[in-house]
Structure 1
Amino acid sequence: MDLFSIQKSAQEVAEAISAVLNVDVTIVDANFNRVAATGEYKNLIGEKIPKNCSFESIAKRKKPEFIDNPNISQKCMECSLKGSCAEMATIGYPIMNNGELLGVIGLIAFNMEQKKKIQKDYDSLIVFLNKLGDLLAGNLKYTKTITELTIQTEEINMIIDGLGNGIICTDNGGIIKFINSKAEDYLKIKGETLVNKSIFEIIPDLKLDFKKPSPIEVKVTVNNKRKSFIIKTIPVMIEDKNVSNIIEIHKTSHMIRNAYKLIEGQNSITFEHIIGNSPKIMEVKDISKKVAPSKSSVLLRGESGTGKELFARAIHNSSDRVNCPFVAINCASIPDNLLESELFGYEGGAFTGARKEGQMGKFELANGGTLFLDEIGDLPIHLQPKLLRVLQEEAFMRVGGKELIPVDFRLIAATNRNLEEMALDGEFREDLYYRLNVIPIHIPPLRERIEDIEILSEYELEKYCNKLGINSKYFSREVQEAFNKYNWPGNVRELENAVEYLVNVVKGEEINFENLPYTIKKYFLDNKDKTNKSGKLKDIIEDYEKEILKSYLKTYGDTTEDKGKIASILGINLSTLYRKLAKYNLQ
């Protein structure tokens, strides 16, 4: 930006000086183009001054000069008008701003009276020109600032106008300062007619507490029809003071309502809800707590029914994203042709059967929070590079969309499949595997945390008795031993289902072995055929106990230290372990 951007102001300054001092004035910019002038030079505004004019020397030295008799002055020896210059004397003064040359202002005498005046008052005129130079520099800076602010405001308005949400900006009293086109479209109103009006005139039912922003559902009359919107207020704070408010307006859809239900606290699972005190489960809890504050991806590994989603929710609720959504989707439960739109969402009319208003996807719903992709091993191969791109770029496009939508979520994935083998077989992308496997957490099966079975079964028993409104029950010793020795292929989920079954079918207080589900009883009958012929429950259990001990000795070793570890895993005293080893001749 140069002096021509304030040409009108420069010309007014030149004419004012000329009228007061009765001399002519010329103002040129840093490229020696005449910006303003009076008298004989007024019709030359916009043209360059003569080549090698004394103004060039003044600009180069950045110091004021007095030129007497330009036609014979040594300072004008190189000027292209030397010998034909009509000027009798000139004072030139550089216009500066923080060391930068903006131009030169000159007082010009075309007769002896004007010449005597600028000679006589030279010192005071230099001071005067210095102030005028500062005035012009300040005016230019002001104009530049206003222009930049105008551009910035227009850019911000265009950005806000292009957002997918309706936006209304108000002061603290609810007086509207700005409204974007999306809000106009939602409410069927013209924004320019609403500026300086109260937001409550448009939405009478709106009850907002600007100090406590939270999403609420509001009914608004639009074209004589009641429509539902989700509205959220965001206070604008400067130095801890609320200076204005941004009101977001979302069209209500089932998906958005579900998202806000998630935000409002349905993810209440914490690590305290994960029952168990065995060394293995405590180790997994400890790792999970440590990584919870991170944004890094987590891959939960474990058999079906081990509680992978519980850990995912507990990690989310121990992070700084706890007040944002936890969005879960099972990659195996949705048909391949629908999964992409579920994840990415879609624009209206993107495909046959698509809603005309479009739909948000799980990526958008999880923005700011956590996205849990269960059964990630079942994610179709054609969607894997698209997921990888979202993780790398933190942005995505809806199906049928043309604009990138920025997104910030923490990914937690879970699988019971061998992703390494799948990657080798070309069934799972290796690059996505490494992107997911940043923090791998292995959740042990129930058979490896035998010492937790009793506390888990008692917890589930109490839970279902209360839930079903049934008097308290208890497990017989034979049932508890059977629970400890059963291999639980369905893990914690199978144990939970078994206890719920027993609470429903057992009418008395005591739950006995014969009450157990068929699959559990069949397991012991099958083991009876392999290990003993008596068919007695005591013999069946003892044979199974012997096999368990043999397996643990083989896995962990038979030193004193190894036996101490086995006793700890089994939740029994070391002396009890030695007694059992002696009983089964396993010393």
Structure 2
Amino acid sequence: MKLEPNGNAEYLVTLLKNIIEMIPDAVMVVDEEGRCILVNQAYEAISGLSAGDVLGKPATIDIAEKESILIKSLRERVAIENVLRRVGPDRREMICSAKPIFIGGKLVGSVGVMHDISEIKRLGRELEHKSRMLRNLQSKYTVDDIIGKSEKILKAKEEAMAASTFSASVLLVGESGTGKELFAHAIHNLSRRAENPLVRVNCAAISKDLVESELFGYEGGAFTGSLKSGRQGLFQQADGGTLFLDEISELTLPVQAKLLRAVQEQEIIKVGGTIPIKVDVRLIAATNKDLEQEVKNGNFRPDLFYRINVVTIRIPPLRERKEDIPVLAEYILKRYNQKYGRGVQDISDKAMEILMAYDWPGNVRELENVISRAMINMRFNEKHLTPLHLNFPVYEAKAEAKDPGSGKITLEIAGKTLEQLKRELEKQVLNYYLKREKHKTHIAQKLGITRRSLYDKLKS
């Protein structure tokens, strides 16, 4: 008996059609040759194809790639479950299942059910946005978290504390990794806005096509894929508090123009909207570029530069405050002891010498990375971080200082004992090989000593 709307099967088809119309998911039924004979209204609504588009056509009519699971179910005579397919002209993502239909032991067709997951994904993105927004509203650091005793860092801290007493815009200038976000948190937490949100965003991390809607929000239906209800932007989320724009130089000139108006007038207009919305926001901007030069190059609006450059705080790179490295290293050591559940007590003098000799182009962030990786390299029972654990290009900086590449050894003999000269010679030889060999085993072999003996010499 064929499963088609005529003959003895007409009653069955009518019954089946009434049943599938009650199903909220998309349903398609095909005959034994894989031609579509039935779809429900949910299929038409979800796939974007009408019944007239698909009836009498092969089941492949609604997919642009891969095999139809209805056809596969027919061919293999087995049920197929939870397969991802893109269906219809809009290529909507659906989880599809299909099962062959047997009547009287004879294969007469198959039925497929398709569940639209595009809405689930959209809701997931919206949930992530809300979670990111919640994280953005939480200020984590205070001025006490700015570590250092050097003159330059103390001056920057004093400027930050002074800036916190009023609501003028602040521009934080510093290389990547110097701690600009730390300063933004500290200024916010010291200000009268401390009980209100601190919203932070990295301007370089947002797509240029989306940055305007992220900053100012949008009205429902403003663009393809937008929420029907619209969305608040970062300015509205920061209302009454502080908006921290990191890497502000990455904003395009059109967005800079709208940002200028928002800062100047304390009001925004959503994308797709016409009604101005008042906001009370204190702006802190940060950059690792020379904005004055960017203005001269035509990459940054001069009027916006003057508006955000009311208070400028320059955060020194680590190479200009090397006296802070020991106290920073101790702070990082304690922090990662807690994070990793370790009990590392200190950093050896020789390891500290290496850290002090390096110029740290990645600044405090790089120092933190080096120390945390060194702690991972340590055995669990080791309590002292030594040069052996660093295993990092800072070794090369130290070795290069002692050996410019010729392999020659220079010793100052006057006033030194034989034992001191032997130690100096050994140190230069070890530095020479550490610069050129990644594997300690190879170094030990070249020096004719055991690996254990090499470790002992590196620790001493």
Partner amino acid for 2:399? L
1:470 is matched with 342
Counterpart of 2:443 in structure 1 is none
SS at match of 2:393: helix
| Distance in 2 separating the partners of 1:457 and 1:276 | 10
| Equivalent residues in 2 for 1:36-115, closer than 5 Å | none
SS of 1:300's equivalent in the other structure is strand
Aligned partner of 2:256 among 368, 384, 395: 384
Of the three residues 398, 409, 419, the one matched with 1:534 is: 409
For residues 260-275 of structure 1, the aligned pairs below 5 Å read 263=137, 266-275=138-147
Equivalent position of 2:74 in the other structure: none
CA contact (8 A) 1:281 1:444 kept: yes
User: What CA RMSD, in Å, does the superposition of the two structures yield over aligned residues?
Assistant: 2.4
Does 2:233 correspond to 1:356?
Answer: no
Contact 1:255–1:359 (Cα < 8 Å) also in 2: no
Q: 1:472 to 1:427 in 2, by over 3 A?
A: same
Write the distance in 2 (CA, Å) between the matches of 1:295 and 1:403. Answer: 26
CA–CA separation in structure 2 for the residues paired with 1:260 and 1:505? 35
- Describe the shift of the 1:407–1:529 C-alpha distance in structure 2 as closer, same or farther (beyond 3 A): same
Residue identity in the other structure for 1:534? I
**AA in 2 matched with 1:452:** D
Q: Distance in 2 between matches of 1:394 and 1:384?
A: 15
Are 1:296 and 1:439, in contact at CA under 8 Å, matched by a contact in 2? yes
Contact in 1 for aligned 2:344/2:385 (Cα 8 Å)? no
Distance 1:327 1:400, change over 3 A: same
* 1:420 paired to 2:307: no
Matching residue of 1:156:
none
Q: What residue is the counterpart of 1:521 in the other structure? A: 395
TM-score (norm 2): 0.59
- Does structure 2 retain, via aligned residues, the 8 Å contact 1:299–1:437? yes
Q: Distance in 1 between matches of 2:399 and 2:170?
A: 41
State how 1:538-553 maps to structure 2 within 5 Å.
none
2:197 aligned partner:
325
**2:276 is the alignment partner of 1:401:** no
Tell me which moved more, 532-541 or 325-334.
Answer: 532-541
Match for residue 62 of structure 1?
Answer: none
Distance 2:360 2:310 in 1: 30
CA distance in 1, matches of 2:361, 2:157: 22
Deviation, structure 1 residue 418: 1.1
2:328 equivalent in structure 1? 456
Indicate how the Cα distance of structure 1 residues 539 and 430 shifts in structure 2: closer, same or farther if over 3 A, else same. farther
Task: State the distance in 2 between where 1:351 and 1:406 align.
Answer: 23
Q: Does 2:162 correspond to 1:290?
A: yes
Q: State the SS of the aligned residue for 2:245.
A: strand
Q: Separation in 1 of the partners of 2:358 and 2:426?
A: 13
Match of 1:294, SS? coil
CA distance in 1, matches of 2:430, 2:254: 50
Q: Which amino acid aligns with 1:269?
A: Y
Q: Greater RCO between the two (CA within 8 Å, min separation 6)?
A: 2
Question: Does 1:494 pair with 2:366?
Answer: yes
Matches within 5 A, 1:555-566: none
**Structure 1 residues 261 and 302, CA gap change in structure 2 (3 angstroms):** closer
Secondary structure (helix, strand or coil) at the match of 1:371 reads strand
Q: How much has 1:522 moved relative to structure 2?
A: 2.4
| Distance (whole Å) between structure 1 residues aligned to residue 392 and residue 188 of structure 2 | 38
> After the TM superposition, which residues 30-429 of structure 1 pair with which residues of structure 2 at under 5 Å, given as runs?
259=133, 263=137, 266-429=138-301
Separation in structure 2 between the aligned mates of residue 408 and residue 509 of structure 1, nearest angstrom = 51
Kindly provide the amino acid, as one letter, of the partner of residue 353 in structure 2.
E
Aligned equivalents of 2:222, 2:168: Cα separation in 1: 33
Q: Is the 8 A contact 1:329 1:374 kept in 2?
A: yes
Q: Displacement of 1:301 after TM fit? A: 0.4
Deviation at 1:530, TM superposition (A): 3.2
Deviations 1:293-326 (A, max 9, x none): 2110100001110000000000000000001100
Q: 1:440 to 1:350 in 2, by over 3 A?
A: same
The alpha-carbon distance between structure 1 residues 463 and 430, as it changes in their structure 2 partners (threshold 3 A), is same
Tell me which amino acid in the other structure corresponds to 2:386: N
Partner SS, residue 303 of structure 1: coil
Cα deviation code 1:2-37 (max 9, x no counterpart): xxxxxxxxxxxxxxxxxxxxxxxxxxxxxxxxxxxx
Q: Provide Cα deviations, 1:415-446, integer angstroms capped at 9, x if missing partner.
A: 01111111111111111111111101000011
Unaligned segments of structure 1, at least 5 residues: 1-251, 543-587
Asked whether the equivalents of residues 259 and 325 of structure 1 are also in contact (C-alpha less than 8 Å), the reply is: no
Q: Distance in 2 between matches of 1:384 and 1:262?
A: 22
SS in 2 for 1:383: helix
Q: 1:399 to 1:537 in 2, by over 3 A?
A: farther
The answer (yes or no) to whether the contact 2:197–2:241 under 8 Å persists in 1 is yes
* Alignment length (residue pairs): 289
User: Cα distance 1:402–1:356, how it changes in 2: closer, same or farther (>3 A)?
Assistant: same
Question: Deviations 1:344-390 (Å, cap 9, x if unpaired)?
Answer: 11111000011111111101001100000000111112211111111
- Structure 2 counterpart of 1:512, one-letter code: T
Map Cα deviations across residues 166-209 of structure 1 (whole Å, 9 max, x no partner): xxxxxxxxxxxxxxxxxxxxxxxxxxxxxxxxxxxxxxxxxxxx
CA distance in 2, matches of 1:492, 1:537: 32
Q: 1:332 to 1:258 in 2, by over 3 A?
A: closer
Q: In structure 2, what is the Cα distance between the partners aligned to 1:286 and 1:469?
A: 35
Q: Where do 5+ consecutive residues of structure 2 fail to align?
A: 1-125, 411-424, 432-460
Contact 2:256 2:304 in 1 (8 A): yes
Q: Paired residue for 2:104?
A: none
- Give CA-to-partner distance per residue, 1:25-77, whole Å, 9 cap, x none: xxxxxxxxxxxxxxxxxxxxxxxxxxxxxxxxxxxxxxxxxxxxxxxxxxxxx
Aligned AA (1:369): G
* Cα distance in structure 1, aligned partners of 2:405 and 2:426: 12
Larger gyration radius, structure 1 or structure 2? 1
Structure-2 change in CA distance of 1:472 and 1:510 (3 Å): closer
**Partner SS for 1:359:** coil
Q: 1:329 aligns to what SS in structure 2?
A: strand
When the two structures are superposed, what TM-score results if normalisation uses the length of structure 1?
0.47
The reply on whether 1:480 has 2:352 as its aligned counterpart is yes
Secondary structure of the 2:210 match is helix
Distance in structure 2 (CA, Å) of the matches to 1:288 and 1:537:
48
Match of 1:435? 307
Give the Cα–Cα distance (whole angstroms) in 1 for the partners of residues 164 and 426 of structure 2. 46
| Per-residue Cα deviation, 1:193-244 (whole angstroms, up to 9, x for no partner) | xxxxxxxxxxxxxxxxxxxxxxxxxxxxxxxxxxxxxxxxxxxxxxxxxxxx
Q: Which residue of 2 aligns with 1:580?
A: none
State whether residues 370 and 392 of structure 2, in contact with CA within 8 Å, keep that contact through their aligned partners in structure 1: no
- Residues 129-154 of structure 1 show CA distances to partners (whole Å, capped at 9, x for unaligned) of xxxxxxxxxxxxxxxxxxxxxxxxxx
Aligned-pair CA distance for 1:258: 5.5
Distance 1:253 1:362 in 2: 16
